[in-house]
Structure 1
């Protein structure tokens, strides 16, 4: 775990130093997620110290939870930086931007894409954690499965309804922004697939000398909602597995 990030109510500065801002104080869904993971890790640490035959498995889960903590910190910082650099972008075409504005626009795009990829990476890591912990065998359904595959497998097996139902509710609450974010993530990773070719037909290829940018405010709103979904999902999972292990 990063020295700049604490598992419960922590503060981190890192990129905020670029903007002469104080350390972050966690609040809201982010604090809920960080606190839930921290409680689970503390529980596992106590179990590991007992040196039972299960301590190796507990150590693996503790490392998994630590990795998710760090990944969540990196996601938050990416969203924060994307939002801050977006503030300087006022023009809708790159060609009309000043050099300084163009630099901030490209910084915004970098952190936006970074946040986009990290968001789904966290969900996939969480999916593998749940698949292992709950012995769901999602790999039999799909070799390279995602968090959403795991959630469908939980429904199919009627596994842990006390966890599956709230996770499904969270997913449904963020269905639209998640769908848009997933499409952008796929475009970023895979460049173009057959379903996306239709979108390119709407571009005026005869005006390729003009580079119009997307609706940055709408993109950031989706990314923030995506981060809220991730935080709520993590808090729900780790509160549940903490109480499940405790009992």
Structure 2
């Protein structure tokens, strides 16, 4: 959708994004076949199909946010807002918008996936924490020894992306619960003795974390839905 802004063709999925979309699509196709059989379980299958469809749409929106954040970041050349032209400052603000949108959507996808797994595997994570996260669900899988093959794969992915995810989660928490990322820029980078200078954060480092987060989400979704598709077929 947003690629039209930059006069670019529609996205062609590839790599881990393509694998994730394919894995979810296969699972949805299987669910549709089961729904068509009109068994007593068709209501549950319909719920899972809607869940999987929502994750597909959310993944598309996350990728678009990362794409736009990258495109607008390329237009920013100064590290101080005071040195930017009005056009560059507008592109910086657009970058910040899509960057924030990206990391908020990233954790939203993971939490939606957590609720899906909690329901599918009957983990009862809500007894541990009323508003539980994907990471709570992972711990609950290990505690209950539920699908240890899947839990091991997901844990390895989480650990591989542990550092960028920790930084992104801190930004998400600051954005939602404390102060926004622009205020964090000020707190971290403004020279209190030279308040006329406002340094921005390391945009390349931030963007790299977000791209790593997208990769983590794609690999996680691909792993989950490949596993549950095989589990359902067997």
Q: Normalising by structure 2, what TM-score?
A: 0.95
Matched, 1:144 2:131: yes
Whole-angstrom distance in 2 between the partners of 1:40 and 1:168 = 22
| Structure 1 gaps, min length 5 | 1-13
Matched, 1:16 2:3: yes
Match for 1:233 among 220, 227, 233? 220
Aligned residues: 230
Query: 1:222 matched to which residue of 2?
Result: 209
Matched, 1:61 2:64: no
Matched, 1:211 2:178: no
Match for 1:72 among 45, 56, 59? 59
Cα distance, 1:210 vs. partner?
Answer: 1.7
2:110·2:217 contact (CA, 8 Å) conserved in 1?
A: yes
Whole-angstrom distance in 2 between the partners of 1:169 and 1:60 = 29
Query: 1:97 matched to which residue of 2?
Result: 84
Matched, 1:242 2:226: no
Query: 1:123 matched to which residue of 2?
Result: 110
Whole-angstrom distance in 2 between the partners of 1:162 and 1:228 = 21
| Structure 2 gaps, min length 5 | none
Q: CA RMSD in A?
A: 1.6
Matched, 1:26 2:13: yes
1:201 to 1:106, Cα distance in 2 relative to 1, 3 A: closer
Matched, 1:38 2:34: no
2:189·2:199 contact (CA, 8 Å) conserved in 1?
A: no
Cα distance, 1:204 vs. partner?
Answer: 3.4
1:205 to 1:190, Cα distance in 2 relative to 1, 3 A: farther
Secondary structure in 2 aligned to 1:213? coil
Q: Normalising by structure 1, what TM-score?
A: 0.90
